[in-house]
Amino acid sequence: MPEAVIVLEDVSKEFASDPPVVALSKVSLRVEAADYLAIVGPSGSGKSTLLNVLGLLDRPSSGSYRLDGTETTALRDGARTKLRGNRIGFVFQSFHLLAHRSVVENVMLAEIYGRHPRKGRRDRALAALERVGLGHRVGFLPDRLSGGERQRAAIARALVGGPSLLLCDEPTGNLDSHNTEAVLDLFDDLRAQGLTIVVITHEHEVSARAERRVRITDGVLVEEVA
């Protein structure tokens, strides 16, 4: 049986205070390759903490997290940074595009911390933009793009390194209904191509498009039956 992309086993996260704040409580989760998972929950439920753990931006207080078969909890910071850069693409509610850089330059910047050589960087960025349907906008500055196009440019930037996991935090939060639908259609296409997608959202329209849905409440994760 092939290794799952994400395996969490009894992951907890506490923040020091009096009394301690338990943000995650014995969370277990398995996400296979090409899964499309939505994580839903109210504000303060632990969604952001779980995102940070999955994205190797924070360490759990206890438990095990394997990403593509690699146990991450004991890795040194440099190894965690390298693994994150090689295996995870991030998409956020805010597009985080540099205003003075063209679309293709914004996508190329994603490889600065990755494992790919400088040679061919522009070609890889152009291929990622074609993949998300933005091949006709490569020379535009971000302020000439619609909100949906800016988010697609951000998705291309996340894809250019060839990640195994696309981790999305409220990816449609700044989009109208038409552009939301377009981005969700793109996620469907990417998942059909074999990419593993995890979306953290509070929007029913977004979570309903995922193959699986889990709900987090007070740091406790429960799988919802479709």
CA distance 29 to 101: 39
Give pTM, 2 decimals: 0.93
CA distance 116 to 112: 8
Contact (CB, 8 A) for 59 and 88 = no
pLDDT at 19: 85
CA distance 94 to 162: 22
Amino acid (one-letter) located at 120:
G
Structure tokens at 130: 């074609």
167-199 pLDDT tens trace: 999 999 999 999 999 999 999 999 999 999 999
- Domains with residue ranges and CATH for the chain: 6-224 (3.40.50.300)
pLDDT at 54: 97
pLDDT at 115: 62
Angle between helices 121-131 and 147-159 (to 10 degrees): 130
The neighbour count for residue 46, using CB atoms within 10 Å, is 23
| Secondary structure (DSSP) of the chain | -PPPSEEEEEEEEEE-SSSPEEEEEEEEEEE-TT-EEEEE--TTSSHHHHHHHHTTSS--SEEEEEETTEE-TT--HHHHHHHHHHHEEEEESS----TTS-HHHHHHGGGGGSSS-STTHHHHHHHHHHHTT-GGGTT--GGGS-HHHHHHHHHHHHHTT--SEEEEESTTTT--HHHHHHHHHHHHHHHHTT-EEEEE-S-HHHHTTSSEEEEEETTEEEEEP-
pLDDT at 14: 94
Low-confidence ranges of the chain (pLDDT < 50): none
pLDDT at 216: 96
Chain mean position to CA 191: 13
78-102 pLDDT tens trace: 999 999 988 999 999 999 999 999 9
Strand-pair category, 196-200 with 36-40 = parallel
